[in-house]
Chains A and B, each alone.
Chain A
């Protein structure tokens, strides 16, 4: 593990407007995640875990405070530039897989590399799908795959752009125990073999224990759980 900072958050606050008025979801969060670290963010439903994940990945803009990804301040960037950074540094795995239904498994995995203009996108995608054990399912569409298989395709897609940071939102939330274990093994294998920083939202304590660090989100505030 290197000592380089992958993500730095200082004084992060996020407020949303709802029918009942303004609601502050994140209240003055400070944290730092080093390169190649695996970090679990745990907490009750509605505590603000997913909101924090979205802000860290640059999917939304925080109300105040700063987020730095490899020293670049996300909050000061336009959506255009944030998208470029996402393409360069970030991979995602979602609870509900979010594969494009109109594309085959291999096409879903090729997408990030194609967006970067990589000419070897197909070969890389094939290799990744082989790695996740789906070389026999390349041309299947998402609705022809089981939940576990869909999540494996999603993991292959997440690693296709060789991201420096992988964000995972409840990656086993929709899977049975056996498939869940398979996915976790894959995530951590890839995390270690590629040196990827892993930031994972979960309320599975067993999964959280596998990470280097556990951060607990409660009422919009983040505390570190001592291991």
Chain B
């Protein structure tokens, strides 16, 4: 680290410029400019399209605070984000552990491929395939009734659990990958050292492995929590009427109501809330990591 900094200060930023420029140019054009436009829109009364009249206003932001619906939905979305993140940890961490510490060679590669498969399939296809599984008379319902001696009725479609299932399916690979990377970096001799000192496997897990893999857990949680809070596709398709969340309301403003200024304002409020949560959590997370 110290060496790298020394080289950087001696030679300055100039030699690195050709390497940095393409990325920053792209970020400026593709993200910064459109986002700036959105910030601009969020303070307008209407879109300046087709010669419509418009003026600057704070009304879009005021709408969030004047109508309790928005904050209620935001809380619902934050809860959804938290629940999905927790399920991803519960499901993803053990899988990452087995991949990093138990499996070796070919079998590891094969299982790894299965984990990242969701990344390679189209998001909509993935969600609609869940719809086929979860609905009444769907694959899950039929399969369970074929096996079980009594008649049960599985109709998870258009429910909160369906939204959770769809989101966990989409996001669990992030948790597996980030945790796999940190777990795999833990030297096996640390685990052996713990056991040689009299710690049971459970004690080694809680006192050595989990603390050392905390950076991966935190990175995975951040990668999952933030997009899930703003998600709209899974809630809309799998949640139906129960699937109204903060993200779907924002989507409505853009595609249905065509009230871009309100949609933009709601987005930036979400961004601010997420940043505040991450900032508040930072000291705790830094200590844990």
A and B together in one complex: no
**Residues of A in contact with B (beta carbons under 8 Å apart):** none
